[in-house]
Amino acid sequence: MDLYGKTIVLTGASGGIGEEAAKQLARAGAQLCLVARREEELQRVRREIEAEGGRASIHACDLADPADLERCADAILAQHPRIDVLVNNAARSIRRPIREALDRVHDYERTMQINYFGALRLTLRLLPRFLEQGSGHVVNISTMSSQVPIPLFSAYLASKSALESFSRSLNAELAHKGVTSTIVYFPMVRTPMSSKTAIYKHMPMMDTAKAAGWIVEAAAKRPARVSSPMGTLGGLAMAALPGVVTRLSQPLFRQMDKQLKRKLQDDRD
Ligand SMILES: NC(=O)c1ccc[n+]([C@@H]2O[C@H](COP(=O)([O-])OP(=O)(O)OC[C@H]3O[C@@H](n4cnc5c(N)ncnc54)[C@H](OP(=O)(O)O)[C@@H]3O)[C@@H](O)[C@H]2O)c1
């Protein structure tokens, strides 16, 4: 699909992958509705888009707050008679061993609140418009770590898996009405989110420009999945032999963690 003149609602547009995706989508001619909590960052992104001749409106909103989300969805629907694509990109990540989360059910609630319920609520609010139009596309951002589960991210990965499952149901129920969905499985990307974990400093990662390109591809081509070959292969292996893959991969993850910690220690010495 040519994105020129299309209206795209993009959450998590105030930084990281979302900011870069907003700029690339605007360069492709789309009109952006930028959503995130930090209004001043959204204003900065809008200014940068407009300086390049693009078009964007901003909607400061805490997507984890249902009342705020309702208000934001109403404003977007009122301002835009047609909405073509929703990109559910806003998220939070928590890295913590399950054994240290025994009294922290709120870790699981917090990731669900934004990563799943925030994305779900916004999708449900825009869905009647998509059905009225006879077309609409939802891009749900997930992670390669749900294709091959890594340790230490149980709260984050559970919330992303819920979003993926909803995404597949949407395709199964509504594709024949013109409403479709893509799951994007990013590998590690260098952003404020991944930079919170100090030991990832030395991990090779995708840059935000390339990651944003995956979102543009998802919006324009509307495939069911955008994934790296490694993620797709890993997902196939997990589906066929989950026990074997988990047994073989877990020592590798532990080894990788040790190496990254050693490199970080070398930096500090
Ligand atoms: N970075 C990676 O390695 C990686 C890997 C796989 C998948 N992903 C996925 O890629 C997407 C983008 O991640 P990123 O690395 O770019 O993250 P990031 O740099 O932390 O950016 C997250 C964005 O979400 C917004 N956000 C967070 N909580 C929000 C809330 N309650 N309401 C509204 N907006 C909220 C933030 O804006 P405000 O703070 O202004 O609200 C920010 O714009 C996420 O879905 C993430 O799970 C990332």
Q: Please give the domain boundaries of the chain with CATH numbers for all domains.
A: 7-235 (3.40.50.720)
- 168: burial class by Cβ within 10 Å (0-12, 13-18, 19+)? middle
pLDDT digits 0-9 by tens, 129-154: 999 999 999 999 999 999 998 999 99
Report in angstroms the alpha-carbon separations of 88 from 12, 126, 221.
8, 12, 17
- Residues with beta carbon inside 6 Å of ligand 1? 11-18, 36-38, 41, 61-64, 89-93, 114, 141, 143, 186, 188-189, 191-194
144 CA: nearest ligand 1 atom: 6
The string of pLDDT tens digits covering residues 89-111 is: 999 999 999 999 999 999 999 99
- Of 81, 68, 77, 90, nearest to 22 by C-alpha is 90
Which of 4, 108, 116, 156 is labelled catalytic?
A: 156
Cα 4 to ligand 1 centre (Å): 26
Cα–Cα nearest to 53, from 23, 92, 74, 12: 23
Average pLDDT over residues 235-256: 93
Supply the DSSP string of 180-204, one letter for each residue.
EEEEEEE--B-SHHHHTSGGGGGS-
Cα–Cα dist 125/265, whole Å:
48
Distance between CA atoms of 151 and 153, rounded to whole angstroms? 6
Ligand 1 centroid–CA 118 distance in Å is 12
For residue 115, report the distance from its CA to the centre of ligand 1, in Å: 9
Answer for the pair 151, 134: CB distance below 8 angstroms, yes or no. no
Q: How far does residue 191's CA lie from ligand 1's centre (Å)? A: 9
Atom nearest to 14 CA in ligand 1: 43
For this structure, is 4 an active site residue? no
The per-residue pLDDT for 250 is: 87
What pLDDT score does 220 carry?
Answer: 98
pLDDT at residue 122 in the model: 99
pLDDT at 269 over 80: no
pLDDT tens-place string over residues 6-58 = 999 999 999 999 999 999 999 999 999 999 999 999 999 999 999 999 999 99
Ligand 1 pocket test, candidate residues 10, 37, 115, most atoms within 8 A of CB:
37
**For residues 100 and 104, what is the distance between their CA atoms, to the nearest angstrom?**
8
- Which secondary-structure segment (H or E) carries 58? strand 55-60
Q: Is the pLDDT of residue 85 over 80?
A: yes
8 Å CB contact between 61 and 253: no
Best of 115, 152, 191 to mutate for ligand 1, by most ligand atoms within 8 A of CB?
Answer: 191
Rounded percentage of the chain residues whose pLDDT exceeds 90: 88
Burial (CB count <10 Å: 0-12, 13-18, 19+), residue 251: exposed
